[in-house]
Homo-oligomer: A and B are copies of this chain.
Amino acid sequence: MTYTAPLKDMLFVIEELADVASISALPGFEDASLDIAQAVLDEAAKFNSEILAPLNAEGDKNPSEWHDGEVTTTPGFKEAFRQYGEGGWQGVVHLAEFGGQGLPKLIATPCIEMLNAANLSFALCPLLTDGAIEALLTAGSDELKQRYLPKLISGEWTGTMNLTEPQAGSDLALVRSRAQAQGDGTYKVFGTKIFITYGEHDMAENIVHLVLARTPDAPEGVKGISLFLVPKFLVNDDGSLGARNDVHCVSIEHKLGIKASPTAVLQYGDHGGALGYLIGEENRGVEYMFIMMNAARFAVGVQGIAVSDRAYQQAAAYAKDRVQSRPVDGSAKQSVAIIQHPDVRRMLATMRALTEGARALAYVAAAHSDIAHHAADADARARHAAIYEYLVPVVKGWSTEMSIDVTSLGVQVHGGMGFIEETGAAQHYRDARILTIYEGTTAIQANDLIGRKTIRDGGAAARAILAQIDETLVALERHDGAAFGAMHRRLMAGRAALANTVEFMLHNAKSDTKAVFAGGVAYLKLAGIVLSGWQMARALIAAHTKRADDPAFYETKIATAHFFADHLLPQAVALEASIVSAKGDQGVLALDEDQF
């Protein structure tokens, strides 16, 4: 149950597919060369595999425990988090101005992948802290930034996102928590928040809660919600910690997975009101929250890739070790390692290809984000921002949906041993199951992909991506051989399925809204499989070109791309069929509520 960071695979994507050279050509990223990336990744690999990976099973066996308002985390977590902060890992992407390293998202993303592969439950604490940092950077006053950012970026304090209430999950319009201005610029916050990841714990001196609440005269719905910073301990002007604030953890949840990550119910203001500070302007809280949400959604997508890779590594190791049954073709008289059996090979190849495809797509998306933020040219910034925005729900939705399948295959490869908890395969399966739910379910991602990312710009971002796929198709035609032939044929079919679906969405959004949204998750999966497949096609070309440099490595890349083309890309056409069939209130919507 060790974890070995796939550094070579990561660097291949960074160099060949996400084009790190173009990122280090951007103003402010001059130092972000491939060598720097390699050095950072090497260090990250060391920390994550040595310190955090061994604590993963431990966290599952000895989860966080609540007692009398306090949460004790898994033994070892507190010390590991101290090392995480001291190593500067919380600050990898954040501004140097506040103590961060200011590295590109392209380099931070593999670090986040390793962190999550090593220990998904642990990684949630930094992930949420990143979100709080983003929101403060975007909308916080200078005073709030100066007071809170350095300690968050150094990993001394941690952050949380407080959206959900018992009656308000995906539907923020139903938020009821309230904030009362005190006349001195501060507020008193009251209400109950649930599902708050690391809402209480013992790993840091202070916890900075970002909380959605309504002021007394706010309009109804999502346009009347403001964002407040509510620290667990008040912070004095000299930066030292003051009084305990009136926010208390009344319980933590008993969950299917990510058990070491405490999921808190937080009670605000039961003893007079929790002191809070408005972030940005009143009634714009949901807008700010979406900024941190977008960053968090991308990171959750990376979690899907991470847990998939961890599950794959464990399954591959078991399959090489476990001896059982003779080969089906009679090529040996003795029982062989199960990796010799075609179906085990298929399962491992599926796990590997899905993980690599999703990884490539996420890193490429990260590079678009870097260009969107750093390009000198405003047009380039806008163009890359639009593509990144389109890809965020795909990375989130697709990488997490596929992680359920991949971790399930991980259990299956182990046979009966996979069902025994001590084996560890089941933990990945349980842990992965939250990923399609939190930070917006797959359906919410699909709604975002349709509404804000496809229809709002009239399909412009989608068509820009399709045009890039066409370039890859042209490049594929220049090569011969089975892998290129298969990839060209399947990617062309997949590209057509995606293009048809985009047009279907655009043409029917107003006239047949429900049918369009009924096809949303299928559209998201179709985009996920085709865009991952496209990255595998680019990997195929790059690997073919470099083959002679390192035949063993590049031939594996070629075979994996070939497998993706033959075995995974064909799903695109089935998905398109189910989307287009949804038209006219048939299929999904033909059954009324009372028919269920």
Q: Is the CB of A146 closer than 8 A to any CB of chain B?
A: no
Q: Is the CB of A412 closer than 8 A to any CB of chain B?
A: yes
Task: Say whether A589 contacts B345, CB under 8 Å.
Answer: yes
Instruction: Name the contact of A562 in the complex, choosing from B323, B416, B552, B590 (C-beta under 8 A).
Output: B590
Instruction: Name the contact of A520 in the complex, choosing from B342, B429, B574 (C-beta under 8 A).
Output: B342
Q: Is the CB of A363 closer than 8 A to any CB of chain B?
A: no
Task: Say whether A591 contacts B556, CB under 8 Å.
Answer: yes
User: Hey, what's the 0/1 contact readout for A325-368 against B, CB within 8 Å counting as 1?
Assistant: 11111100001010111111110110010000000000000000
The CA-CA distance from A453 to B578 in the complex, in Å, is 31
Interface size, A (range): 35 or more
User: Hey, what's the 0/1 contact readout for A554-579 against B, CB within 8 Å counting as 1?
Assistant: 01100110110011101101100110
Copies of this chain, complex-wide, total 2
The CA-CA distance from A255 to B171 in the complex, in Å, is 36
Q: Is the CB of A95 closer than 8 A to any CB of chain B?
A: no
Q: Is the CB of A253 closer than 8 A to any CB of chain B?
A: yes
Task: Say whether B586 contacts A566, CB under 8 Å.
Answer: yes
Cβ contacts under 8 Å, A352 to chain B = 591, 596
- Which of A64-72, A207-215, A371-379, A441-449 is found at the contact surface with chain B? A441-449
**Chain A interface SS verdict (over half):** helix
Q: Is the CB of A219 closer than 8 A to any CB of chain B?
A: no
Residue of B nearest to A577 (CB): B570
Nearest CB on B from A501, distance (A): 13
Instruction: Name the contact of A513 in the complex, choosing from B329, B419, B441 (C-beta under 8 A).
Output: B329
Cβ contacts under 8 Å, A595 to chain B = 552, 555-556, 559
Instruction: Name the contact of A563 in the complex, choosing from B323, B416, B570, B588 (C-beta under 8 A).
Output: B588
Q: Which residues of chain A have a CB within 8 Å of any CB of chain B?
A: 164, 167-171, 173-174, 195, 253-257, 316, 319-320, 323-330, 335, 337, 339-346, 348-349, 352, 404, 408, 411-412, 415-416, 418-422, 426, 429-430, 433-434, 436-438, 441-443, 446-447, 482, 486, 513-515, 517-518, 520-521, 552, 555-556, 559-560, 562-563, 566-568, 570-571, 573-574, 577-578, 581-582, 586-591, 593, 595-596
